[in-house]
Amino acid sequence: MADRRTTSSRWWLPAGAGVASVIVFAGVGELAAALLASASSPFAVVGSLLIDLAPPWAKDAAIALFGTNDKAALLVGIGLVLLVVAAGAGVLEARRPPWGQVVFWVFGGVGVLAAVTRANASMLAFAPAALAAIAGVVTLRLLTQRLPGADVEPAVAGPPHAASGDDDERADAAGTAAIDRRRFLGWAGGAAAIGALAAMGGYALQAGSRAVTAVRQAIRLPDPVSSASIPAGAELDLDGLSPYVTPNAQFYRIDTALAVPAVEPANWSLRIHGDVEQEVVLTWDELLALPLEESVTTLACVSNEVGGGLIGNAVWLGYPIRELLATAVPSADADMVLSRSIDGFTASTPLEVLQDDRNAILAVGMNGEPLPAEHGFPVRMVVPGLYGYVSATKWVTELEVTRFDAASAYWTDRGWSERGPIKLQSRIDVPRQGQGLSAGPVVVAGVAWHQHVGVAAVDVQVDDGPWQPAALATAVSDDTWVQWSFDWDATSGSHTLRVRATGADGEVQTSKRQGVVPDGATGLHSRDVNVG
């Protein structure tokens, strides 16, 4: 009797250790995703990877079999495979350590790979799967050490005295084995319970963002009363050159939000108050019922280094803030609007900029879709000409009309300038830094911007040669960047290419290097290339 139990426990207890460990693995992965990188739940990213990799016939078959439950079926499938493989890993770890742990590292590795290769992966995308793997391996090791008989000779041989004919001793051994087994089951059950709790916690924490994702997907934005049309000449369509309109998935994201705020449009409202004659409250339905306009505006971050990527151009759908302010009627001595996000972030925008004729808007749409959650869903501000930190409040819920000498904003309190007009800048996109080229004709191209002023000219300098004019593409307005290109007859050797823009107001981009603090970087962007 005791012998048979020992024999069967040789696989089912270690298999249980594997199963408990994978539950901890999954739970820690989900919880870490909820806290650190909401788009990188190991289950979700591996599921998405499988969907991307699946051949069309497999997708058709899955849809035919499971209908709209195909994604749920996929997740259940992944879960079952994980459980079975983990049970095997538990047995493997008991017999051939550390191969069971290796299986868990592979689980984690697949999760990390799937997460970091997603479009728009955040810097922390690797973390949930990595933490999951660590937790899974630690649990597996701890449980394996607590397997009955783990610290004596392998159970295969059995304790020497178990073979003696003494009935009392055999009963004793069976009793000890039963206690060990019960203790082990306690540990394994406890681990599984902790894993399940972590998974439920992660799931609950992400409930808000799941609900908002569903609401967002169901939204059909109204047609604009005036639509933006991009002239054909705006897009030079050169390999490696930033597209004139930045796709949402490639648009830089900067904010102080650890978890993306989940704001339901039905619960959203904007309050305009402070130094106004008439407080105004606007709901989502009221906003959508207003005549919405499309406009193209290039948004830039004050933290963008010379040549950096914290800038993007989008077609926004929204309503002019000036119209709302006109209803509220700011008092004569007000000079600033402190916008506030649902998460407490604030930005200070000069009142006159929100009252003049530029497209300073409450935006609800970005490149033909509702704002993505990380870009401020359901409503954000977009103000041409100002860096995002003083104007582009996402998840905006409040506009307080006030004075610069009476209130200050989030980044101003942290040493950044209280006003942030975007500086004249230009960037080389191609060729890349250090690129090897062949002598002869080479296209040098990039973008230049001076929002709300406009770019009049772009020049390129090769080494210490003269500044030579680049060709400018068309831009929709002075509020967007413009593409430029320059035909260079490259000669062999190492060369430095430099770009310099001139504003429509005659300002020539300065070569004086300044860091991003307190009000934006200056200096000329350059690229070194080797011509063979």
Which positions touch ligand MTE (CB under 6 A)?
251-257, 299, 301, 341, 343, 345, 375, 388-389, 392-395
Binding part of the chain for Mo ion, among 72-80, 248-256, 276-284, 316-324 by CB under 5 A, reads: 248-256
Min separation Cβ 268 and Mo ion, Å: 23
CB 521 within 8 A of CB 306: yes
**Bridge partner residues of 316 (DSSP):** 295, 366
Min separation Cβ 398 and ligand MTE, Å: 11
Instruction: For residue 221, give the nearest of 38, 20, 61, 379 by alpha carbon.
Output: 379
How far, in Å, CA of 60 to CA of 71, rounded? Answer: 12
Binding part of the chain for Mo ion, among 53-61, 67-75, 253-261, 362-370 by CB under 5 A, reads: 253-261
Name which of 365 and 388 has its Cβ closer to ligand MTE.
Answer: 388
Residue whose CB is nearest to ligand MTE in the complex, by number:
388
Name which of 44 and 409 has its Cβ closer to Mo ion.
Answer: 409
Q: How many residues make contact with Mo ion (CB under 5 A)? A: 4
Name which of 101 and 246 has its Cβ closer to Mo ion.
Answer: 246
How far, in Å, CA of 214 to CA of 373, rounded? Answer: 11
Min separation Cβ 390 and ligand MTE, Å: 8
Name which of 155 and 392 has its Cβ closer to ligand MTE.
Answer: 392
| Strand blocks (E) in 94-148 | none
Upstream peptide bond of 518 is cis (omega within 30 degrees of 0): yes
Give which of Mo ion, ligand MTE, none residue 511 binds (C-beta under 5 to 8 Å, depending on kind): none
Q: At 295, give phi and psi (nearest 5°).
A: -145, 155
Name which of 195 and 350 has its Cβ closer to ligand MTE.
Answer: 350
- Work out whether 14 is an interface residue with Mo ion (CB under 5 A): no
344 C-beta neighbours (distance < 10 Å), count: 10
SS3 407: coil
Backbone conformation region of residue 40, classed left if phi is above 0, alpha if psi is from -120 to 50, else beta: alpha
Give which of ligand MTE, Mo ion, none residue 251 binds (C-beta under 5 to 8 Å, depending on kind): ligand MTE
CB 251 within 8 A of CB 394: no
Backbone conformation region of residue 405, classed left if phi is above 0, alpha if psi is from -120 to 50, else beta: alpha
CB 89 within 8 A of CB 100: yes
The token pair that represents 288 in the structure block: 């959508």
Residue with tokens 């799937």: 114
Instruction: For residue 445, give the nearest of 468, 472, 466 by alpha carbon.
Output: 472
Instruction: For residue 444, give the nearest of 482, 502, 501, 484 by alpha carbon.
Output: 484
SS3 350: strand
Site for Mo ion in 370-429 (CB under 5 A): 388-389
Give which of ligand MTE, Mo ion, none residue 341 binds (C-beta under 5 to 8 Å, depending on kind): ligand MTE
Give which of ligand MTE, Mo ion, none residue 256 binds (C-beta under 5 to 8 Å, depending on kind): ligand MTE
Site for Mo ion in 110-169 (CB under 5 A): none
Q: Please, is 232 exposed, middle or buried when counting C-beta atoms within 10 Å of its C-beta (0-12, 13-18, 19+)? A: exposed
Instruction: For residue 505, give the nearest of 476, 523, 475, 478 by alpha carbon.
Output: 478
Name which of 121 and 254 has its Cβ closer to ligand MTE.
Answer: 254
Give which of ligand MTE, Mo ion, none residue 343 binds (C-beta under 5 to 8 Å, depending on kind): ligand MTE
Q: How far is CA 227 from the centre of its chain?
A: 29
- Work out whether 251 is an interface residue with Mo ion (CB under 5 A): no
Give which of Mo ion, ligand MTE, none residue 294 binds (C-beta under 5 to 8 Å, depending on kind): none
Give which of ligand MTE, Mo ion, none residue 452 binds (C-beta under 5 to 8 Å, depending on kind): none
DSSP string, 421-441: BPPPEEEEEESPTT-EE-SEE
Min separation Cβ 118 and ligand MTE, Å: 17
How far, in Å, CA of 53 to CA of 349, rounded? Answer: 46
Helix (H) or strand (E) holding 269: strand 269-274
Out of 124, 301, 337, 472, point to the residue binding Mo ion (CB under 5 A).
Answer: 301
- Work out whether 254 is an interface residue with Mo ion (CB under 5 A): yes
Min separation Cβ 8 and ligand MTE, Å: 57
Binding part of the chain for Mo ion, among 14-22, 130-138, 301-309, 420-428 by CB under 5 A, reads: 301-309
Name which of 9 and 348 has its Cβ closer to Mo ion.
Answer: 348
Name which of 195 and 370 has its Cβ closer to ligand MTE.
Answer: 370
Min separation Cβ 419 and Mo ion, Å: 14
Binding part of the chain for Mo ion, among 152-160, 294-302, 355-363, 474-482 by CB under 5 A, reads: 294-302
Name which of 104 and 449 has its Cβ closer to ligand MTE.
Answer: 449
Contacting residues toward Mo ion, per CB under 5 A: 254, 301, 388-389
